[in-house]
Structure 1
Amino acid sequence: MEHATPIDLDTWPRRQHFAHYLHASPCTYALTVEVDVTDFVAAVRASGRRTYVAQIWALAAIVNRRDEFRLCVDEAGAPAVWDRVHPAFTVFHPETETFSCLWVAFDPDFAAFHDAAVRTIAEHSASGDFFPQGEPPRNTFDVSSVPWTSFTGFALNIEKGWAHLAPIVTLGRYVERDGRVLLPVALQLHHAAADGFHAARFVNELRDLLADGSWLAGPAPAAR
């Protein structure tokens, strides 16, 4: 079972920012970017692996590098950081035009994660339940895909979501421009957990990881 390590408020540089944006002025924000995935698309096709699963793993790898994306509050409302978080992701059912939300334990080894995700998706492909595995664990973050259209802006409006500190990522349809393949990525964050600096670093690290397709065929790259 995953563990959340309490944060020492006496030494945490973010303690004032956290308190302000969680209590005094609750605030979430969204950032939408187009990520160049030209090399990733070629690499994932050559690998024979599933594109969506590879995208999910890449996102989870970035999230698990950084404390700000694994931030939570304990039962007393104090900040803590999960040792590891896992992706919860949507899978569409075309026959009913609904979807299920599944989750898979993150594994730094992409091949192991890929196989586990493929098995999980196959196991629940015929389910009409929203959460066929039951409620996801507390230490998950959300990924969804809108592969039917590209977009230049995307935001979720979550009622009473001020305590939701985990990132939410939405992916769009590839768009080709000037010979390059671009992926719309919408990143929604809680300002108590992360600022624009952290959001930009997330995007830049995702760009770098997707540009380096070596992990698709071999061992996962070491976290930085």
Structure 2
Amino acid sequence: MNYKVVNKKEYYRSGVFRHFTEDCKCSTSMTARIDVTDLVKYSKEKGTKFYINFLYILSKVLNSRDDYRMGYLWETDELICYDSINPIQYVFHEDTETCTPVYTVYSEDYDEFYRNAVKDVENAKKTREYGLDSKNHPNWFDASYISWLSYDSLNIELPDGYLYFPPIINWGKYREENGRLMMPVTVRLNHAIADGFLVANVYRLLEKEMAAFCNT
């Protein structure tokens, strides 16, 4: 885990950062449907899991820009930017109807990431422990698949004044709309380090990276 300290006075969003860390502490979130038709087809043709393929693309997108890798050290009041962030995926246990967090290290190498993600999931299936360990995994973002529903909106609430900067991403079941497979994706970011443009930009980058991935 490596990071650089960001000079808050020279930070390009310094005015916004000050306002949303002092005057109006809040987050911003958005839900939109993205076209995953080609990724579903690609996954079936390659015999790979759509879920992990999407998780890889999402992780690549969030690692592509400093704004999505920000962190806050409350002990020293420092704004930081991690060199990389990793996804916390989840395994659902049908017998207990509970989830186990799965820590998967991000690698830009697709084959390595896919292999590790599958292994991590299989290991998590062997336990029923919740096992969330945020203290020792500060540069990890929440990536949760809500497989039971193709929803229209979703809200993630955090305590007022809590400067939590890692992205929180949820996505639901895809469904056919006008001959295309559309999947709801919710992006939540702290308003101090992101605005509407940066939230919306995640969707644009997802579409771009999915197209590149399916054409490899």
TM class by shorter chain equals: over 0.9
Tell me the C-alpha RMSD between the 2 structures.
Answer: 1.7
List runs of 5+ in structure 1 lacking aligned partners.
219-224
Contact 1:62 1:205 in 2 (8 A): yes
Provide the C-alpha distance between the structure 2 equivalents of 1:213 and 1:179, rounded to a whole number of angstroms: 21
Percent identity among equivalent residues? 26
List runs of 5+ in structure 2 lacking aligned partners.
none
In the other structure, the counterpart of 2:33 is 34
Where does 1:50-199 land on structure 2 (aligned, <5 Å)?
Answer: 50-74=49-73, 75-131=75-131, 137-160=137-160, 162-199=162-199
Provide the C-alpha distance between the structure 2 equivalents of 1:128 and 1:5, rounded to a whole number of angstroms: 36
Q: What letter matches 2:103 in structure 1? A: W
Q: Judging changes above 3 Å, is the alpha-carbon distance between structure 1 residues 18 and 80 closer, same or farther for their aligned structure 2 residues? A: same
Deviations 1:109-144 (A, max 9, x none): 111000001111111202110117886511000010
Q: What letter matches 1:100 in structure 2? A: T
Provide the C-alpha distance between the structure 1 equivalents of 2:65 and 2:116, rounded to a whole number of angstroms: 24
Q: What letter matches 1:53 in structure 2? A: I
In the other structure, the counterpart of 2:43 is 44
Contact 2:28 2:191 in 1 (8 A): yes
Q: What letter matches 1:137 in structure 2? A: H
Q: Judging changes above 3 Å, is the alpha-carbon distance between structure 1 residues 133 and 119 closer, same or farther for their aligned structure 2 residues? A: farther
With the length of structure 2 as denominator, give the TM-score of the two structures: 0.94
The number of residues matched between the two structures is 215
With the length of structure 1 as denominator, give the TM-score of the two structures: 0.90
Deviations 1:23-50 (A, max 9, x none): 2110112100000011111011111111
Aligned-pair CA distance for 1:148: 0.8
